């Protein structure tokens, strides 16, 4: 929860200033009676201000505690009733899922969210680590008789298959060559409206890998006029949301929580909503709202 801390900073700063002035006055006391009276008045005034600031700070702490409690209760309520909240919200929506990390594949969990919301899965595929293997790249290029000089070329080819009439058979060929895993693909995959990119990583994020895989997918999918939403789990050791944001991809950093799942169905229903949503400091707000 994003709480504005400026009140604490102002209060604490004022307290230290007050104490500093008090000490300065104390060190410079002399026997001049008139000056002593003035100094006593200053110290008394500072004491009063200190008490006022302390009272204000105590009140702010109570308000913050109340706000935090209300916030936690609201989140708990949503998390407990997620299935009821999202039920039927994605009717007639045809959505694709692409997992970009074989070692952190939770695409089936995302598929379950869409199904609970009565949405349709256009396709659900996972890119395997072999997409970066040079020998595998050469093998795929030779067997498919397609010029593939780099990982970017292969990733672009995969995304183009998703917009091709022969896409289903081509994806099956790629699966046989061990560069992707096709969890599912429907007869209506060409009518896909939005694509969810499942990111986040348990090992260190490699900018080069992101550029070769995720950025290429983002560019190609947007070129196919598909809305792209990047998601990750709260427990991801290395976050993708910054890189999604830099590529102007709306993202959610807590897809494993009920509130994150509600955010997802809102975004899939309204492509006009953009931003960074979730719990991390990089998030703009907790969840999206219609403007």
Same domain, 87 and 99: yes
> Any bridge partners for residue 277, and if so which?
252, 285
Q: Is the pLDDT of residue 65 over 60?
A: yes
The answer as to whether 282 is a domain residue is no
The answer as to whether 11 is a domain residue is yes
Same domain, 15 and 138: no
Q: Residue 99 corresponds to which tokens in the numbers above?
A: 């997992």
Across the range 86-111, mean pLDDT stands at 93
Same domain, 30 and 91: no
pLDDT of the residue at 30? 47
Where does a domain end: 64, 80, 96? 80
Question: Is 185:123 a contact under the CB 8 Å cutoff?
Answer: yes
Task: Please tell me the distance from the alpha carbon of residue 278 to that of residue 263, in angstroms, as a whole number.
Answer: 8
Give the chain's mean pLDDT. Answer: 83
pTM, whole model, 2 decimals?
A: 0.76
The answer as to whether 287 is a domain residue is no
Cα-flanking dihedrals φ and ψ of residue 18, to 5°?
-60, -45
**Higher pLDDT, residue 241 or 196:** 196
Find the CATH number of the domain harbouring 247: 3.40.50.280
Same domain, 64 and 103: no
Same domain, 192 and 259: yes
Q: What is the CA radius of gyration of the chain?
A: 28
Where does a domain end: 35, 57, 80? 80
Same domain, 87 and 66: no
Number of structural domains (the chain) is 2
pLDDT of the residue at 112? 96
Same domain, 106 and 232: yes
Q: Residue 113 corresponds to which tokens in the numbers above?
A: 């969210």
> For 133-172, how does the pLDDT look when each residue is reduced to its tens digit (9 = 90+)?
999 999 999 999 999 999 999 999 999 999 999 999 999 9
Q: Which domain holds residue 41?
A: 6-80
Q: Is 194 exposed, middle or buried, given 0-12, 13-18 or 19+ CB atoms closer than 10 A?
A: buried
> For 226-240, how does the pLDDT look when each residue is reduced to its tens digit (9 = 90+)?
999 999 998 777 788
Where does a domain end: 80, 110, 143? 80
Same domain, 43 and 110: no
The answer as to whether 288 is a domain residue is no
> For 264-281, how does the pLDDT look when each residue is reduced to its tens digit (9 = 90+)?
999 999 988 999 999 888
> Any bridge partners for residue 182, and if so which?
125
Same domain, 70 and 181: no
Same domain, 37 and 59: yes
Half-sphere exposure of 47 (CA within 13 A, CB side): 6
Per the listing, tokens 């944001």 go with: 245
> Hey, is 240 helix, strand or coil?
coil
Task: Please tell me the distance from the alpha carbon of residue 214 to that of residue 155, in angstroms, as a whole number.
Answer: 9
Give Cβ neighbours of residue 250 (< 8 Å, ≥ 6 apart). Answer: 228, 229, 230, 244, 267, 273, 274, 275, 276, 277
pLDDT of the residue at 1? 47
């Amino acid at each position: 929860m994003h709480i504005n801390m400026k009140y604490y900073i102002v209060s604490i700063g004022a307290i230290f200033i007050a104490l500093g002035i008090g000490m300065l006055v104390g060190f410079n006391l002399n026997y001049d009676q008139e000056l002593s009276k003035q100094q006593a008045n200053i110290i008394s005034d500072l004491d009063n201000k200190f008490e006022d600031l302390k009272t204000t700070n105590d009140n702010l702490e109570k308000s913050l505690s109340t706000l935090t409690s209300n916030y936690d209760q609201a989140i708990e309520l949503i998390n407990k009733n997620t299935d009821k909240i999202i039920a039927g919200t994605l009717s007639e929506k045809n959505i694709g899922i692409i997992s970009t990390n074989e070692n952190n594949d939770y695409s089936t969990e995302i598929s379950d969210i869409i199904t609970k919301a009565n949405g349709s899965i256009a396709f659900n595929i996972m890119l395997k680590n072999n997409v970066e293997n040079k020998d595998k790249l050469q093998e795929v290029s030779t067997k498919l008789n397609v010029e593939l000089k780099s990982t970017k070329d292969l990733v672009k080819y995969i995304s183009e298959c998703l917009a091709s009439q022969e896409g289903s058979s081509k994806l099956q060929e790629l699966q046989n060559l061990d560069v992707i895993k096709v969890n599912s693909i429907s007869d209506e995959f060409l009518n896909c409206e939005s694509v969810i990119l499942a990111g986040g990583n348990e090992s260190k994020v490699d900018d080069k890998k992101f550029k070769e895989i995720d950025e290429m997918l983002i560019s190609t999918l947007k070129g196919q006029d598909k809305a792209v939403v990047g998601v990750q789990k709260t427990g991801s050791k290395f976050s993708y949301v910054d890189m999604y944001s830099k590529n102007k991809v709306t993202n959610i950093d807590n897809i494993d929580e009920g509130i994150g799942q509600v955010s997802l169905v809102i975004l899939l229903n309204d492509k006009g909503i953009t931003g960074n949503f979730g719990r991390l400091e990089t998030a703009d707000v907790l969840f999206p709202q219609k403007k």
